[in-house]
Amino acid sequence: MDDVFQEKSMKLLADPLKMRKLQTKTETYDRLRSSLESTFDYKLTDESYQRIRSHIYHDLVLDSVMQDLINQVTLHQNP
């Protein structure tokens, strides 16, 4: 028994990450979806949720481009 324990101890000393078990999540929790559903008290369908996400993404990209343009204009106007 002591030899088995010593062998396992040596293996753990060689690679301590072997002790950790990699567990994959089977279901991911979507905070945005949950927040929308709780705020509006409405169960979203997958299609409507994907459409909302798409709109948010496009708005964020548009905002980013507009901010870049505004910053470029202000840099060129300041002497």
What are the structural domain ranges in the chain?
Answer: 28-79
Lookup: tokens for 13 = 């000393």
pTM of the shown model: 0.57
For 13-32, how does the pLDDT look when each residue is reduced to its tens digit (9 = 90+)? 666 666 565 555 566 789 99
- Give the span between the Cα atoms of 5 and 23, in whole angstroms: 25
Asked if the model's pLDDT at residue 71 lies above 60, the reply is yes
Among candidate residues 51, 29, 47, the one with its CA nearest the CA of residue 38: 29
